[in-house]
Amino acid sequence: MAPTHVLRCCQRGLAWIPVIFIALVVCWSYYAYVVELCIFTITSIGKQVVYLIFFHLSFIMFVWSYWKTIFTKPANPSKEVLCDPERPRCAILVNSLKYFVFLLCSRQFCLPKAEKERYEKEERPESQQEILWRAATNLPLYTRTGAGAIRYCDRCQVIKPDRCHHCSACDMCVLKMDHHCPWVNNCVGFSNYKFFILFLAYSLLYCLFIAATVLQYFIKFWTNDLQETHSHAKFHVLFLFFVAAMFCISILSLFSYHLWLVGKNRTTIEAFRAPVFRSGSDKNGFSLGFRKNIAQVFGDQKKYWLLPVFTSQGDGLTFPTRLVNVDVEQPTVTLHPEPAKSEVTVSPLSESQNRLLSNEQNSNSMVQHTADNPVKSAPTDSAAAVSMESES
């Protein structure tokens, strides 16, 4: 037990190496840009002020979104669930009431104690599936395994909600899991996917701004056009441009790919392996249209889209799908024709046809009425004639 625990601690410590590397690169880039470029290299005060203002704006948003991506705990169906906040400050209330939310929401995906004991004692997969089917009867589940069985995590001992997957690195089931990112040492899922997208956007903006503003001084240093008094900044400016350009190219490809995923309402896992519904696999099963797909991640209030605050729609346990209305297991009403009557396809009537049909029915009823009451036949016939003429 002790060696395993020590090994696990070592793995967790080593997992922070990529994050520490990024942090060191960001700190050095801050020093190189602010001190070596803006203070020691640029001579114009106005240009220094403008560069520093825009640099710090991009730097603050980049660090803020990166921090939120790293330290936002992945939502777990067996531990905590995030509710759908109408405003960003609702997330604070959810965190303070996480145990209450757990009691109300997440326990439904955990097997009851008696059923869990029966499941563990059963050796036949068929019997285990029967237990899971009974437990999942009232759960909002639309996805299945490739064989059509209930998705169950033996490690976490929980029925997996739709789009939930087990992360071996975090050793937990993650709601709407996208992937495990070593550069943030965290799972990217329902609780921090918006933060991850903003992290990519602001890091790309940060690198683009540095590369664009450093380019002219990079050329001057390369061609030795600057004075010798600026030689101590030459290394920092040259290396800063190369690093910014390199990260810009790599982040641009990743950011473009995730924007495409957001527009399709897919995760990275679903892009490589289409989710299996009751009616079969469908890679577009969760797609609701471009605008609604964007709102699923960024929320309805556009004023919060560019801020790293939680505004995603839903609770992470259930997701709208375009396949629900045609689900084969949903209750539907089927009309069967009588055996004695042949099937006739009736096309919808136009407005003029409806009027003629209505007049004909009124005429027949009036004729029947006059047959039963011959004394009032004359006034009734004249009224029917007048009605027909007015309609025509």
Residues identified as active-site: 181
What does 119-177 look like in DSSP terms, one character per residue?
Answer: HHH--SHHHHHHHHHHHTTTS---EE-TTS---EETTTTEEPPTT-EEETTTTEEETT-
What does 237-254 look like in DSSP terms, one character per residue?
Answer: HHHHHHHHHHHHHHHHHH
Identity of the amino acid at 378: A
- 277 neighbors 319 (Cβ within 8 angstroms): no
Classify 292 as helix, strand or coil. Answer: helix
Supply φ then ψ for residue 98, to 5 degrees. Answer: -65, -35
HSE-CB at 25 with a 13 A cutoff on CA atoms is: 18
HSE-CB at 101 with a 13 A cutoff on CA atoms is: 22
Task: Output the six-digit token pair for 324.
Answer: 């629900």
Q: Is 124 left (phi over 0), alpha (psi -120 to 50) or beta?
A: beta
**Sheet harboring 280-281: ordered strands across?**
143-144, 276-277, 280-281
- 106 neighbors 81 (Cβ within 8 angstroms): yes
HSE-CB at 362 with a 13 A cutoff on CA atoms is: 15
